[in-house]
Structure 1
Amino acid sequence: MSSSKPDKEEEQEKESPCMNGGGDVASAGDDDNGGEVVGVGEEEEAEEPTTEREFAAAMAELAPEGVRALHARVEAEWGPVLQSACQTAAARALWGRAVRDPAAAVLAGERYLRGLHDKMRRDERAGAREVHGVMIAVRTLWFDARIEAAVDALGGDPQVVILGAGMDARAYRLNCLKECTVFELDFPELLEMKSDLLHEAMSSANHQKLTLMAKSLIRVPANIQDGDWVTKLQSCGYVPERNTIWVLEGIVYYLHHADAMQVLETIADRRSSACTVLLADFMNKNATSISPTMYHFYHDSPDLLLPSIGFSKVALSQIGDPQAHFGLLNHPENLFEKLRRLPRSLEKNPEDGTPCCRLYFVEASASPDDQIMCPLDHYLE
Structure 2
Amino acid sequence: MYWIDPDGLGIGDDPIYVFCNMATGSTAVPHDSESPTDVGHCAEPGCYSREVNYVASSRQMLALADLSAQCYQSIKYDCNYAPLELNGIDYAWWNDKNGVPQYFWAGSGNRTHICQCGIDGNCVDPAIKCNCDAAAPVQLSDDGVVTKKEILPITKLNFGRTQLETSSGVHTLGPFECSGQVVVDGMPSSCEDLWKTGHTLSGFYSVMGNLMMESVYCDFSKLPHESGFQSWVGFVDIKSSPTYFYVRKLYNYFAQLNTPIPFETEMVNVGRAMNSTTGIFTAPRTGKYFFSASGNTNFPASSYTLLFDISLYKNGYSVGTSRTDSYSSSSNLKTFTLQAILDLNKEMKFGWAFR
Larger strand share, 1 or 2:
2
Q: State TM-score, norm by structure 1.
A: 0.19
Q: Which has the higher helix share?
A: 1
Considering Cα pairs closer than 8 Å and 6+ residues apart, tell me whether 1 or 2 has the greater RCO.
Answer: 1
- Indicate the structure (1 or 2) with the bigger Cα radius of gyration: 2
